Structure 1
């Protein structure tokens, strides 16, 4: 195993020794007869980890788990039982740059080695602020398609360009993770925020095999390091439910991204265990059901009313666009504008009757008719952060979440509308920062966490297609490059709301077919995914990185997703070759 670390970045170590049921089992021998763990810098003598970090030996933990060794075992329902002995070393850091070798000796002669690289970064701060825009699931092909529908052409030449097109630096990042070529939004966001690859569903942890999703070894995030070392202020904006993976990755640490209630509690109270707490200045998005208690239909951590919990810690509570625009810039702000994900740009601005499909954040089950967009949330977040941070600076993550969510359901029109809204937000942000003289001291990044398979292969005469009675006569264009369920395509806007491409014909069968009520005048296309899938999936494609401002040159070329973290850390001057006074 190989891993990179920022000098001074806190992390945990979890040691696990596995013994399958058909092997020898632990019988209570002293720990040093079961396994030992040493760490040493290249060229220097290795030491026991307790000596290296001056730690007390932690308690030995034991548990077991079951797993399928291969697909044949899964089909035969034959699980293997594995016994585990483990120890965890919490909140440690490496301060001296260089290469280290970590060695686990176990089972009377077995050995596993890991190579760790502590990167040598300058401590000079070059940017006061950083804005990280995430177009969730956004690829270069989608940007091309959005430009096509959003900007006028004459004689094959665009008469205007997207804001992203005007950035001085463009690069590409590789998105694959530890356990899968194809990432989800949790481990891909974790890589951007910590500089460490992880596994599917993990937020800023290395997955272990324990039953507790909160005891996995943690890695400190860019937001946590920035606040701990500089006192800088942090904000989160998303058009998703706010406990979703991408916003959660700024400060959450769990193996299961689905622990929404605990994630909301983390925003307010931190993760505990002597870990860095970030007092977030701004939290804007959807997901009200994780804030109001069960008596109103919510599902919250310990059934608390988190509107009350946040208000008790001096947050102003904002629940609609009108209140957002008039909110104080002096106070911390929690803005929750709907249950679940926020309404899409197309429905907020064109098909407004569809807003009846969004529910109020109060829990009273009335429609959420007064929702802000990404631009309004982002500009207000900047104003609050700028007002409250003083000379300490700020870090803001702003996510256009439903590019991804609409690509999943093959609703390309809404997905591209979300992408155009992101680009409009980027343009407005640049103009706003320029008007307040903050632009020159702010690094602006626009990238994605992963991609989706998508391209434009031609155009469709939808009127002609709908008039044909024979499916084969409708096949006058390339069908595209996607990993999709069965569906019907007519390549037309779904005016009644977001698309549902595939459904179960027989309830609880996990067998999905093309939705007979979707694209009825279109062509039936066979899916390429297992039949239990009712949506499209992510892809392996590299995703673009646009950079403007201090350190923009660091983001040129093609590199791994973890380098986004290290480049931001460089720009903030967060590398520490020796323990800080805080420690």
Structure 2
């Protein structure tokens, strides 16, 4: 195994020795004496890890788990039982740049080695602030399609361009994860935030095999390091429910991204025995993770988290009107609806669909007064700038429903969300310029992963709908879509009644999805390419774009791994500390 580290970045080590039930038995020494774990810098003598880090030897842990060795074993319901012996070394750091070899000796002669690279980064701070925009699921092809929708052409030439088109530096990042070459939003966001690859559903941890989703070895995130070393301030904005994977990746540490209650608690109280970041701004959806069960919510220990945040001096904001008038002097929690926030198309064009969003108070009334990404982002910047002083700030702003609408093949809403992101980027540049902050702020626009979307032409939707024979409906010149899909009907027309539902179970609880008979009735029936239990599209392998403007922009040119986003941001913030800070 190979891993990269930032000098001074905290991390945990988990050692596991596996003993399959039908495998060889441990023999000779008792199980707790099987471990010999050494660490050494290249060219130097390796030492026992306890000596290297001046630690006491941790207790031995034991558990077991079951797994399917392959798909044939799964079909036969034939699981393999594995016994595990494990030790964990917590919250340690490497300060000297260079290459290290970690060696685990176990089971009377077996050996596993890992190579770790501590990157040699400059400690000079070049940016006071960073804005990291995440277009969740956004690809170059989607940007091309959004430009076609939002900007006028004459004789094949655009008369205006997107804000992203005007960035001076463009690169591409590769999004693979440890256990899958096609990533999910949790471990892809973790790679951007920690510089470490992980596995599906993991947030800033390396997955272990224990049953506890919170004991996996943690890795410190950019927000945590930035605050710990500089006292800088942090903000989170998302159009998703705020405990979703991308916003959670700033400060959460769990193997299961679905631990929403604990994630909300982490925003407020941090993680025990780890770094706590007091977050100044949290704006998004997901009210059901804030109000208790008596109102229909599901929260950590059934607490009312509006009250919990208010008790720690947060102003509680629950609609657009209150957001615009909120104080820039105080910390702010803004939760504007249950679940994900309403899409741009429904907030601005098909406003009757706002009845599908529920109030963040839990009273089940419609959430009719929701802000957009631009309003949340600009207010977050104002609060961070007011409160941070000379220490600077780090803001992550996510256009979450590019991804969520691509999953349900609702291309019109997805591209509307992308155009809203671009408008937010433009407004942010203008706003920072008006307050003389632009020259000291690095602005990044990228994605966590992509979808297999492209535009292949255009459709005369009026003509298509008028045809009675599917094969005649195919007399169009161009269309848009994906390739990793469930069964669906396509008419390439906007769904005016709300977000799309492309596939459904005809027989309840069958896990067998067919094209939704109420979706695109006048379109063409297309067979899916995914397993029949899938009712949505999935992510793709494609590289995703990175746009950079401001201090250190040159670092983001070329094609590189997703973890390099983290290291380049750390370089720009001057976080590559080759020696312990005073607090350590």
TM-score (norm 1): 0.99
What is the CA distance between 1:478 and its match in structure 2?
A: 5.8
Please state how far the C-alpha of 1:492 moved relative to its aligned partner.
Answer: 0.2
In 1, the alpha carbon distance for the partners of 2:355 and 2:152 equals 33
CA shift digits 1:322-347 (9 cap, x unpaired): 00000000000000000000000000
Q: Secondary structure at the match of 1:235?
A: strand
Superimposed CA distance per residue, residues 441-473 of structure 1 (whole angstroms, 9 cap, x where no aligned partner): 000000000000011100000000000000011
1:482: Cα distance to partner?
A: 1.5
Is residue 239–residue 400 contact of structure 1 (8 Å, CA) maintained in 2?
yes
Query: For residues 43 and 121 of structure 1, what CA distance do their matches in structure 2 show?
Result: 21
| C-alpha separation in 2, matches of 1:33 and 1:88 | 15
Q: 1:102 to 1:397 in 2, by over 3 A?
A: same
Gap change, CA 1:168 and 1:258, over 3 Å in 2:
same
Once the 2 structures are TM-superposed, how far is the Cα of residue 32 of structure 1 from its aligned partner? 6.1
Structure 1 479/369 Cα, relative in aligned 2: closer, same or farther at 3 Å?
A: closer
Contact 2:28 2:108 in 1 (8 A): no
Deviations 1:535-569, CA, capped at 9 Å, x for gaps? 00000000000000000000000000000000000
- Tell me how far apart the structure 2 counterparts of residues 138 and 454 of structure 1 sit (CA, whole Å): 9
Residues 165-210 of structure 1, C-alpha deviations (whole Å, 9 max, x = no match)? 0000000000010000100000000000000000000000000000
- 8 Å contact 2:287–2:337 — kept in the other structure? yes
Kept after mapping to 1: 8 A contact 2:10/2:91: yes
Contact 1:171/1:544, CA 8 A, preserved across alignment = yes
Residues 243 and 495 (structure 1), Cα distance of their counterparts in 2 relative to 1, 3 Å cut: same
Does the 8 Å CA contact 1:320/1:371 hold for their aligned counterparts?
Answer: yes
What is the aligned partner in structure 2 of residue 25 from structure 1? 25
Which residue pairs with 2:237 in the alignment? 237
Compared CA separation, residues 526 and 277, structure 1 to 2 (3 A): same
Q: CA RMSD in A?
A: 1.0
- Cα contact 1:31–1:60 (8 A) shared by 2: no
CA separation in 2, counterparts of 1:522 and 1:481? 16
Whether contact under 8 Å (2:291, 2:298) holds in the other structure is: yes
Which whole-Å CA distance do the structure 2 matches of 1:474 and 1:27 have between them? Answer: 70
User: After superposition, what is the alpha-carbon deviation per residue over 1:138-185, rounded to whole angstroms, capped at 9, x for unaligned?
Assistant: 000000000000000001000000000000000000001000010000
Q: What is the TM-score with the length of structure 2 in the denominator? A: 0.99
Q: Indicate the SS of the match to 2:327.
A: coil
Matched, 1:346 2:345: yes
Pairwise CA distance, 1:506: 0.2
1:520: which partner in 2? Answer: 521
Hey, what does 1:274 align to over in structure 2?
273
Task: Measure, in 1, the Cα distance between the counterparts of 2:313 and 2:182.
Answer: 41
Deviation at 1:582, TM superposition (A): 1.1
C-alpha deviation, 1:219, in angstroms: 0.1
CA–CA distance in 2 between the matches of 1:305 and 1:425? 32
2:572 paired with 1:571 = yes
Equivalence for 1:202:
202
Contact 1:203/1:254, CA 8 A, preserved across alignment:
yes
SS at match of 1:579: coil
Contact between 2:240 and 2:401, CA under 8 Å: does it hold in 1? yes
Q: Distance in 2 between matches of 1:274 and 1:467?
A: 65
User: How far, CA to CA, are the matches of 2:422 and 2:163 in structure 1?
Assistant: 6
CA distance in 1, matches of 2:324, 2:401: 23
Count of aligned positions = 582
Kindly provide the CA deviation profile for residues 251-274 of structure 1, in whole angstroms up to 9, marking residues without a partner as x.
000000000000000000001x32
Q: Is the 8 A contact 2:104 2:112 kept in 1?
A: yes
Give how far 1:25 is off.
4.4
Deviations 1:400-455 (A, max 9, x none): 00000000000000000000000000000000000000000000000000000011
Shift of the 32–304 alpha-carbon distance from structure 1 to 2, 3 Å rule, reads closer
Partner residue, 2:284:
285
1:477 Cα shift?
A: 4.3
Taking the aligned partners of 1:59 and 1:370, their CA distance within structure 2 comes to 54
User: Residues 485 and 536 of structure 1 are in contact (CA less than 8 Å); yes or no, is this contact kept in structure 2?
Assistant: yes
Structure 2 gaps, min length 5: none
